[in-house]
Structure formats: C-alpha cells, structure tokens
C-alpha cells in the first residue's frame, strides 16, 4: 500500500509543539523519544490509515505506546489529517470542534 500524506491541523501542530517543549524542559532524552514515537506513528498511519478503529465523526485514534497521548486523525480525499495530539487523561473529546 502506498504511503499517504499525513498533515497536522493547526491545533494539533500547536499541541505537538507544546508537548515536545514540555518534555524537553524535563529531559532531552524523553523529548527525543517522543519525536521518534510520533514519527513512527505518522508512518504507520500513512501506510494503513484504516487499521485503527473508526470513532466518532469519522475519526480514528492511534494510541502512542510509551506516552500518554493519542493521535486523533481523519482521512480526507487528498490526505490524512491529524486533528489532535490528545492527552489520554485530560479533556476528552475537546478536539471535536476542529472537525
């Protein structure tokens, strides 16, 4: 299967940046591991976006295995869009207004 373009929506990009900065302030190693895990998740989503269960409003959720975050994404005709980099224990479904 061909890898599809995966892009961050603005709100998700800001969440990614702020989460990276939070980890970086505490540990460069943790920040580096966070980046690697996000990159691996993006590749996996791009290669097989339908692998993860369909959720509300046509979204899907990729749970990061080593960090308390999920990538909430949706398939659009020309790309896959990351809607949120959501913490697993905070503000459930806050990202719905981005759809």
Mean pLDDT, the chain, as a whole number?
A: 92
Asked whether residue 57 is domain-assigned, the answer is yes
Asked if residue 51 has pLDDT above 80, the reply is yes
Domain containing 42 equals 6-86
Instruction: State the pLDDT confidence band at 97, using cuts at 50, 70 and 90.
Output: low
- Mean pLDDT confidence for 36-40: 97
Q: Is residue 93 part of a domain?
A: no
Q: How many domains does the chain have?
A: 1
pTM, entire model: 0.88
Q: Is 98 a member of any domain? A: no
For residue 26, which phi and psi values (nearest 5 degrees)?
-100, -35
- The burial of 18, by beta-carbon neighbours within 10 Å (0-12 exposed, 13-18 middle, 19 or more buried), is given as exposed
State how far the Cα of 50 lies from the Cα of 36, in Å rounded to an integer.
22
Interval 78-96: pLDDT, tens:
999 999 999 988 777 767 7
In a domain, 25, yes or no: yes
**CATH code for the domain in which residue 10 is found:** 3.30.2310.20
Q: What pLDDT is attached to residue 91?
A: 73
């Amino acid at each position: 299967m061909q890898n599809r373009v995966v892009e961050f929506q603005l709100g998700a990009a800001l969440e990614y940046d702020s989460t990276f900065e939070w980890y970086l302030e505490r540990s460069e190693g943790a920040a580096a591991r966070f980046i690697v895990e996000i990159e691996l998740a993006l590749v996996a989503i791009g290669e097989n976006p339908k692998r993860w269960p369909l959720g509300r409003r046509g979204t899907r959720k990729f749970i990061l295995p080593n960090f308390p975050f999920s990538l909430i994404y949706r398939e659009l005709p020309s790309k896959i869009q990351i809607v949120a980099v959501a913490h697993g224990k905070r503000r459930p479904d806050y990202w719905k207004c981005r759809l």
